Amino acid sequence: MHSTTRLGTSTRRDFLKQSSLTAGAGVLASVPLARFAHAAGSDVLRVGLVGCGGRGTGAALNAMAADKQVKVVALADSFEDRAQGCRKTLQQQKPEQTAIKDDHVFVGFEAYKQLIQSDVDVVLLCETPHFRPMHLRAAIDAGKHVFCEKPVAVDAPGIRSILETCKLAEQKGLSIVSGLCWRYHPAVIETMKRIHDGAIGEIVTIQETYLTSLPWARPRQPNQTEMEFQMRNWYNFHWLSGDHNVEQHVHSLDKGSWIMGDKPPVRAWGTGGRQSRGREPEFGNIYDHHAVVYEYENGVRMYSYCRQQRGAWGDVSDHVFGTKGTCVVLPQYKITDRSGQAVWKYDGPQGNMYELEHDALFKSIRSGKPINNGHYMALSTMLAILGRMVTYTGQVITWEQAINSQEDLSPKAYRFDAEPPVLPGPDGLYPLAVPGVTQFK
Ligand SMILES: NC(=O)c1ccc[n+]([C@@H]2O[C@H](COP(=O)([O-])OP(=O)(O)OC[C@H]3O[C@@H](n4cnc5c(N)ncnc54)[C@H](O)[C@@H]3O)[C@@H](O)[C@H]2O)c1
């Protein structure tokens, strides 16, 4: 068992400083150099998983289902119990494709480096969102193909780093497939095609909702340091998850952005707060509702609502209003004309988007035709971060201001005895952002 909790020589802050400021959206333009070591269909592809929780375990199983010559050979997690739990599940469910030796289970903040430096060809990044920019950079620097879960960052320096790394991956001919899984959903793909082909005319307005109940929260356990408590409870701290409008609602913003041709808005404003999430420490410092209006250059507005409150009405949907009709992407995949008459409804196969994204990844590796989802995964995550910036500050913030923001949500050091960037006040409660008081940085 490899166990490391020390940071090593550099912090994420140092790492992000090294990333030059590639502000704006259309930065992925260089010509790929195909550099595929495993193009042959029969070669075994050795996969390592970073972040061995629910999604990571699922992604490893999806990878093995997508390609019978995939073997999961290495695991990395900040916590040993998570890594071992995942190892057991993979061994039980896919014994013939799981080959994780004891010395390929890495634990702690440096575990990702050890995994990337081991003999893996492909890395699945399914850890807590805060770490994605640093881990993606390390994987691409080491020449690995990557499956990269959403969201890809929690702050603008992280997004700038992701954009730079994705450019590098393109130059190296490495694949980066995003976990923004609706991009691989057959019904959504077909519906988007029709919107882009003009089936509802010119787009006027988009409405995106993600209205759900409270997710998990893990109460503090005896003997936990503050860092361990927050790492175990990452969803509820904005420096780790980005807040729920970044962690969860990014899926909806991604569909809205796709409709808009993956171009950034000019500016955003909105309102948000915390009404029904308790003030107990396990609920951290995130909000429980955000309502944000994104204004685009052509006059289109995207109205975006997300809420995590128990007992309230739930709705996860995408409504697009055009000059000739209306489209409901999720959950209906349906287009109606101005009189409300249905003119098209998807009736093709549903498919499993979680497997389809892995099918695409492994086919791209074997065919030598790299996929790079970098542009939209960075843009959609930045939309969500901009949303948090406007709800926390109560200000109108432009895209240019947001993408150039210097707010860096990283701690001074990654150690379990180091201080996280969010600390409880004298009353034991975590301070919340206050619109009109909290400053944009
Ligand atoms: N695409 C989807 O539909 C979908 C669904 C669920 C989750 N997700 C995303 O997947 C990611 C993981 O979510 P989850 O539900 O599996 O959470 P989880 O808490 O079950 O798993 C996260 C794991 O990452 C580990 N981790 C944290 N920091 C780490 C680090 N520095 N190095 C290595 N491991 C680290 C944690 O210990 C934990 O085991 C999140 O980004 C989440 O948004 C995506």
For the chain, which residues make up each domain, given as ranges?
A: 2-183+355-373, 187-349+383-403
pLDDT at 86: 98
Three-state secondary-structure class, residue 71: strand
Residue nearest to atom 5 of ligand 1 (CA): 55
pLDDT of the chain, 441 residues: tens digit per residue: 333 322 333 454 444 344 333 333 333 333 333 344 454 556 999 999 999 999 999 999 999 999 999 999 999 999 999 999 999 999 999 999 999 999 999 999 999 999 999 999 999 999 999 999 999 999 999 999 999 999 999 999 999 999 999 999 999 999 999 999 999 999 999 999 999 999 999 999 999 999 999 999 999 999 999 999 999 999 999 999 999 999 999 999 999 999 999 999 999 999 999 999 999 999 999 999 999 999 999 999 999 999 999 999 999 999 999 999 999 999 999 999 999 999 999 999 989 999 999 999 999 999 999 999 999 999 999 999 999 999 999 999 999 999 999 999 999 999 999 999 999 999 999 999 999 999 999
Give the residue, out of 116, 128, 177, 249, with the most ligand 1 atoms within 8 A of its beta carbon, to mutate for a pocket test: 128
Q: How far is CA 269 from CA 64, 118, 407, in A?
A: 43, 45, 18
pLDDT at 216: 94
CATH architecture of the region 2-183+355-373: 3-Layer(aba) Sandwich (3.40)
Residue nearest to atom 31 of ligand 1 (CA): 109
Kindly list the protein residues whose Cβ atom lies closer than 6 A to any atom of ligand 1: 50-56, 76-79, 82, 109, 111-112, 126-129, 131, 149-150, 179, 181, 247
Structural contact between residues 432 and 287, judged by C-beta atoms closer than 8 angstroms: yes
Tokens describing residue 19: 């990333």
Which residues have CB under 8 Å from 333's CB, separation 6+? 187, 188, 190, 191, 345, 346
Beta-strand runs (E) in 265-387: 267-273, 289-295, 301-308, 315-322, 325-328, 334-337, 342-345
pLDDT at 248: 98
Three-state secondary-structure class, residue 8: coil
User: What gap in Å lies between CA 364 and CA 274, rounded to an integer?
Assistant: 43
Atom nearest to 250 CA in ligand 1: 43
Atom nearest to 128 CA in ligand 1: 27
Residue nearest to atom 18 of ligand 1 (CA): 53
Atom nearest to 83 CA in ligand 1: 39
Residue nearest to atom 13 of ligand 1 (CA): 55
Which DSSP state fits 283? G
Residues 136-142: contacts with CB under 8 Å, at least 24 apart: 136/162, 136/165, 136/176, 137/15, 137/19, 137/161, 137/165, 138/112, 138/113, 140/165, 140/168, 140/169, 140/172, 140/174, 140/176, 141/168, 142/116, 142/117
Residue with tokens 């959403």: 150
Residue nearest to atom 38 of ligand 1 (CA): 53
Three-state secondary-structure class, residue 326: strand
In CATH, the number for domain 187-349+383-403 is: 3.30.360.10
| CA 430 – ligand 1 centroid, Å | 23
User: What gap in Å lies between CA 49 and CA 123, rounded to an integer?
Assistant: 6
| CA 243 – ligand 1 centroid, Å | 14
Atom nearest to 129 CA in ligand 1: 41
**Which residues face 15 on adjacent strands?**
none
| CA 6 – ligand 1 centroid, Å | 21
pLDDT at 1: 35
| CA 317 – ligand 1 centroid, Å | 24
User: What gap in Å lies between CA 13 and CA 402, rounded to an integer?
Assistant: 18
pLDDT at 267: 98
- CA angle 71-76-80, nearest 5°? 120
Give the residue, out of 127, 224, 245, 358, with the most ligand 1 atoms within 8 A of its beta carbon, to mutate for a pocket test: 127
Rg over CA atoms, the chain: 21
Structural contact between residues 374 and 245, judged by C-beta atoms closer than 8 angstroms: no
pLDDT at 208: 98
| CA 210 – ligand 1 centroid, Å | 19
Closest CA to 280 of 429, 405, 160: 429
